[in-house]
Structure 1
Amino acid sequence: MPDATHPPSRLALPLLFAGGALALAPFTSAAAGLLGGALLGLTLGNARTRETQVWTHRLLPLAVIGLGAQMNLVAVAKAGLHGLGITALSIVLVLSLGLWLARTLKVDRDAGLLIAVGTAICGGSAIAAVAPVVRARAHQVSVALATVFLLNALALLLFPPIGHAMGLGQDGFGLWAALAIHDTSSVVGAGLAYGPRALEVATTVKLARALWIVPLTLFIGYLDARRRRKAAGGVPEAPDALPVKKPWFIAGFLAMAALVTWIPALRTPGHWIAFAAQRALVLTLFLIGAGLSRKALKEVGIRPLLQGVLLWLIVCVVGLIAVRSGVLA
């Protein structure tokens, strides 16, 4: 177990560089990047802890900005306005339920918040946006992301056959997938497996929900700043916490989306920017995973996973009932 008394293996440094290079490859998924980094950190150790923390802090906001280049604000705004009230209500309810579960299960505050935010909006992207604002610690981010990615993989496999068994049409399935699957990539995969109309509905509705990252991140940042002011002079922050950031990268996210939407000549470069941002995010997840230790995992425990699973199951069941009953249409 790598720690102060058990230094990293000699293989840790070359494998850190090799893993970082693989994380940038197009075939490496976000989940694989996080898992690979975690395996390295938990077995051989992290030979460059300080450097990986620095690059994590730099890459995370830049990746979020770049992801804006994959959005068409016009199409997203139309979908968002169509179900504005229902979307806002569902996000508030899921977030509230997630925070209640975190308190009930005695989950670490920041880890519980990240899992709730990731479930309420759009998985890893929402976690990536909120984590630096609340100064989450690296292992808290890792646990939240791992929970989300595990449930994403299950949803990608289970949703299409469940949808067919329940007799969902393509529009209904698209709505359900956008509501109950965490990450946009898994929503796209499930929609593609169900049919072209399901893919169109699921993608558009999910991207509309993703825009709620902006106000939610600003609001959480405001509340967290107030909490910190009240706690000023108390116990200092943990050394591995992400640095406090004003959510300037949210403005960058919107600016990037606006440029790609209203300047047609930028749409092709926008695809490349979004692709580069996705690879940067995978690299960031690899570095976050590499910062994990067994001691950190013991501090967090099994409760965050239980919170994430229970919250996801409730969202899946309630969402399915709402779609089949016509409440969501």
Structure 2
Amino acid sequence: MLQKRSGRVFPGLILSILVAMLAKAIALYLPQLGGATLAILLGILLGNTFFTQNFLQTGTKFAESRLLEFSVVLLGISVTFQTIASLGIQGVLFIACMMGATIYFTYKVGQKIGFNQTTALLMAGGNAVCGSSAIASIAPSIRAKEEEKGQIITLVNLQGTVMMLTLPFIAQALFGDHLIAKSALLGGTLQSVGQVVAGASLLNEDVVAFAMLFKIMRIMCLVLIVFIFSQMVPATTSTTLSTKKKSPLPWYVLGFLIVCIINSFFPFPDKIVSSGKWISNWFETTALAAIGLRLNLRRFLQEGSKFLIYGASVGVFQTILAVILIYFLF
């Protein structure tokens, strides 16, 4: 059984590694772009032209999810309580305001445009918390249909990809060398962990670490968001909701926090820190290559103008709100 599963994972995983290696090689000649950016761009190009075969999907999905999760855990090697404390109360207020306003705006706009309640809630949760992971966690609690879930996952990924490729340049232009401001813009708006890592990688390693702190604060609110949304559905649909235990924090967030706690009390030797960063970087680049390989541009175009308008309006709102809050709070 294990051998059979490994056989399914192997082709897509190897392809992701090869694309990551190619991106790293090209980055030697184009250092201004960097391996992370090139990995996702090459992935998008190759995944929509030469490598569209279904048998690659299991391996690219593994690379996208598992390798990126391990990369996030390893980020904890270079983070301590002092690092987290540097965000201050302003960081907590920033995330609280961003999440609350994003949920309210997305939900109301969705209903104004003509989407039903479950679709609007999925979109709100995906943008406010952590993209596809949040959507997958929220969907059972509000009894969303598989079609609705798939459409919103597709839309959020498209929206996040566009923001991932544009926000780093906006951050650099507006905030220059202000590390916390740039990190807040990326970590407070981008939808998935992969998009935060990819976008921040366009700037530097410090932005990756701090942007992930803002992102993790959002992810830690997932259980609360699932509970609140489950109470918002009409009684006729909520009475048969599953009584399963609410979704816990993703394992990689707990892993990151555990590594961070250890590092705060018993600092890791420099050799372990440098090795951890190196491994994390390769995991990250491979995962980003897989994200690109899995991005189906044809499917995005098929979603229609109504979905695209919805995604664009939410993305613009998040960006403008984040910039305003950053100027006031940081």
Smaller-chain TM-score bracket: 0.5 to 0.7
Residues 159 and 267 of structure 1: CA distance in aligned 2, closer, same or farther (over 3 Å)? closer
Paired residue for 1:317? 320
In 2, distance between residues paired with 1:95 and 1:16? Answer: 35
In 2, distance between residues paired with 1:217 and 1:63? Answer: 19
- 1:181-228 deviation digits (Å, cap 9, x = unpaired): 5224434645x6xxxxxx96x666533321224323323455677878
- 1:66 partner amino acid: S
Match of 1:216 among 212, 221, 232: 221
SS of equivalent residue, structure 1 residue 211: helix
Paired residue for 2:284? 278
Residues 100 and 270 of structure 1: CA distance in aligned 2, closer, same or farther (over 3 Å)? farther
Tell me, yes or no, if the aligned pair for 2:135 and 2:153 is still in contact at 8 Å: yes
1:63 aligns with 2:75: no
Once the two structures are aligned, what percentage of the paired residues are identical?
9
- 1:294-319 deviation digits (Å, cap 9, x = unpaired): 5x853x32333322322232233334
Match of 1:78 among 72, 78, 85: 85
- 1:249-279 deviation digits (Å, cap 9, x = unpaired): 7234322442255241453343244224424
* Coordinate RMSD, CA, aligned: 4.5
Match of 1:129 among 133, 139, 151: 133
In 2, distance between residues paired with 1:22 and 1:271? Answer: 20
Paired residue for 1:3? none
SS of equivalent residue, structure 2 residue 48: helix
In 2, distance between residues paired with 1:219 and 1:139? Answer: 24
Tell me, yes or no, if the aligned pair for 2:107 and 2:120 is still in contact at 8 Å: yes
Q: Per-residue deviation at 1:117?
A: 4.7
In 2, distance between residues paired with 1:114 and 1:285? Answer: 21
Paired residue for 1:254? 254
Residues 232 and 54 of structure 1: CA distance in aligned 2, closer, same or farther (over 3 Å)? farther
In 2, distance between residues paired with 1:110 and 1:65? Answer: 32
1:152 aligns with 2:164: yes
- 2:317 partner amino acid: I
In 1, distance between residues paired with 2:322 and 2:165? Answer: 18
Runs of 5+ consecutive residues of structure 1 not aligned to the other structure:
1-14, 193-198, 234-243
In 2, distance between residues paired with 1:111 and 1:32? Answer: 30
SS of equivalent residue, structure 1 residue 212: helix
Residues 68 and 225 of structure 1: CA distance in aligned 2, closer, same or farther (over 3 Å)? farther
- 1:288 partner amino acid: R
Runs of 5+ consecutive residues of structure 2 not aligned to the other structure:
1-10, 25-34, 140-145, 191-195
In 1, distance between residues paired with 2:255 and 2:14? Answer: 34
TM-score (norm 2): 0.62
Match of 1:89 among 83, 88, 97: 97
1:186 aligns with 2:199: yes
Tell me, yes or no, if the aligned pair for 1:70 and 1:271 is still in contact at 8 Å: yes
In 2, distance between residues paired with 1:211 and 1:103? Answer: 29
- 1:126-185 deviation digits (Å, cap 9, x = unpaired): 225324434675664343222112122222334434557xxxx84785476347652244
Please give the residue correspondences for 1:101-120 in structure 2 after superposition, counting only pairs within 5 Å. Answer: 101-106=109-114, 116-117=124-125, 119-120=127-128
- 1:18-62 deviation digits (Å, cap 9, x = unpaired): 85444443435464266246624xx985343xx725862786256
- 1:267 partner amino acid: V
Tell me, yes or no, if the aligned pair for 1:23 and 1:33 is still in contact at 8 Å: yes
In 2, distance between residues paired with 1:54 and 1:203? Answer: 25
Which structure features the higher share of helix residues? 2
Tell me, yes or no, if the aligned pair for 1:98 and 1:115 is still in contact at 8 Å: yes
TM-score (norm 1): 0.63
Paired residue for 1:35? 44
SS of equivalent residue, structure 2 residue 53: coil
Please give the residue correspondences for 1:262-301 in structure 2 after superposition, counting only pairs within 5 Å. Answer: 262-263=262-263, 264-265=268-269, 266-286=272-292, 288-289=294-295, 294=299, 298=302, 300-301=303-304
